[in-house]
Each structure stands twice: as structure tokens, then as C-alpha cells.
Structure 1
Amino acid sequence: MQICLLGPLEVRADSGTPVEVGGAQALVSRLRRAAPGLPVEARPGGYRLETAAEAVRVTLDA
């Protein structure tokens, strides 16, 4: 799964297919439905996606 956070929130399935998400609580709720088991937790001031560092790939699009 690919989650893009800078700029508009964008979520893609492993296949590259966009996952529609649409305000913060509603977005997280939709994300949890689209990706059951995704480790998203509520924190003071927002949400946190908890995952191992090696599972994260950062790319910069020009």
C-alpha cells in the first residue's frame, strides 16, 4: 500500500489502484475500512501510522 502525505492525501493499494478517501476522522475511518489491520492509532492532535522503518520507502516526485 502506498500513502502519500505531502500535498493532498493519496492512498493506493499494492496494485497501484487509487483508494478513495475524502476531513481527518472521515479519512482515517475510510482508510481503516479500505485496509483492515493497518496500524493507525489515535494520538493527541492527530493520528499515527505505526510501521517498521524498513517498511517505509520515501520518494520525491519533482
Structure 2
Amino acid sequence: MDGYGLLGGRIGLRSEDGILDLSVFARNLLDKDHYQTLSPNAYGVVTAILGEPRTWGVTLRSRF
């Protein structure tokens, strides 16, 4: 299997007092089809776990 790379990132803002923290994130930004694992067994069958598709979200944290 050929090598590959995945692109992801996170950027955020935090209030000066540190009480609020807001960030947006993305994983597998280019939506690359990939496998987490490929495992051949003794009978010639190959099992695989597919990698996550493009995922994005927002995180809001608060301290009190």
C-alpha cells in the first residue's frame, strides 16, 4: 500500500480572562479515502477498517 498524508487543523480564540475558549477544527480536510488498518489472515482474506471521512466541528469551552 502506498503512503499518504492527511490534512487537518484547529484555530481558536480565547478571552483575555481565559473563561471562554472557542475553536473550529477539521480532520481529513481533503476527504482522502484511506484505511486505518489492513490485515490479511491465514486464509487469504484481507480485512480493513476505513479511515474517517472529512470531519469538522466547533468547540466551545468555559471555565467557572
> By the TM > 0.5 criterion, same fold?
no
Q: TM-score, normalised by structure 2?
A: 0.24
Name the structure where helix makes up a greater proportion of residues.
1
Q: Which has the larger radius of gyration?
A: 2
Report 1 or 2 for greater relative contact order, CA contacts < 8 Å, sequence distance ≥ 6: 2
Q: TM-score under structure 1 normalisation?
A: 0.24
Point out the structure with the larger strand share.
Answer: 2
